[in-house]
Amino acid sequence: MSFSVVTNLSSLNAEAQLDKTGFGLQQTLTRLSSGLRINSASDDAAGLAVANRFRMDNAGLHVGIRSANDAVSRLQIEDGTANNISSLLDRALTLAAQAASTTFLGSRATLDTEFQSVLSEITREATSSGLETSNTNLNTR
C-alpha cells in the first residue's frame, strides 16, 4: 500500500491571507470601538508613552483645579463671615454711641444686654467659620 501526500499550495496561501486579513480586521475593529489611535504598545510604543504621560499630567491638573475650587469656596465662606461680622461691628458701634449719649441714661442696661449679645454673635460667627480669634478679646467687661 502506498501513501501519497498532496499539498494544495493555493489553499495554504489562501488560508495565510485569510489569517492576515482577519488580524487586520480585528485591529481595525478594536480601534473603531475604543476610539483610540493607540490601543496597545504594539500599535505605537512611543506614542503610547506620550499618551500615558499626557493622561497623568491631565489627572494632576484636575487635582489642582479641584484644590483651587475648594480654596475659592473656602474664601467665599470667609468673605461672607467677614461681611456678617462687619455688620455686627457696625451695630456694636451704634450701641456704644447710644450708651455714651446722655439721652439714653435709663436704658443703658438694655443697650449693654444687646451689645453683649452682638459680641457673642461675633464670637459664634468667627468660631463656626474657623476664623482664628485667639489674639482678640471681644469681652469689654
Rounded distance, CA 98 to CA 138, Å?
19
pLDDT tens-digit map of 23-70: 889 888 887 888 777 777 777 788 888 888 999 999 999 999 999 999
The CA distance from 71 to 132, in Å, is 17
Residue (of 141, 94, 98) closest to 120 by Cα position: 141
- Which amino acid is it at 120? S
58-113 pLDDT, tens per residue? 999 999 999 999 999 999 998 999 999 999 999 999 999 988 887 766 688 888 89
- Residue 86: per-residue pLDDT: 95
User: pTM above the 0.85 mark?
Assistant: no
Task: Give CA–CA dist 70/29, Å, rounded.
Answer: 42
Contact 69/77 with Cβ under 8 angstroms? no
Q: Name the residue ranges covered by the structural domains of the chain.
A: 12-37+46-129
Return the CA Rg of the chain. 39
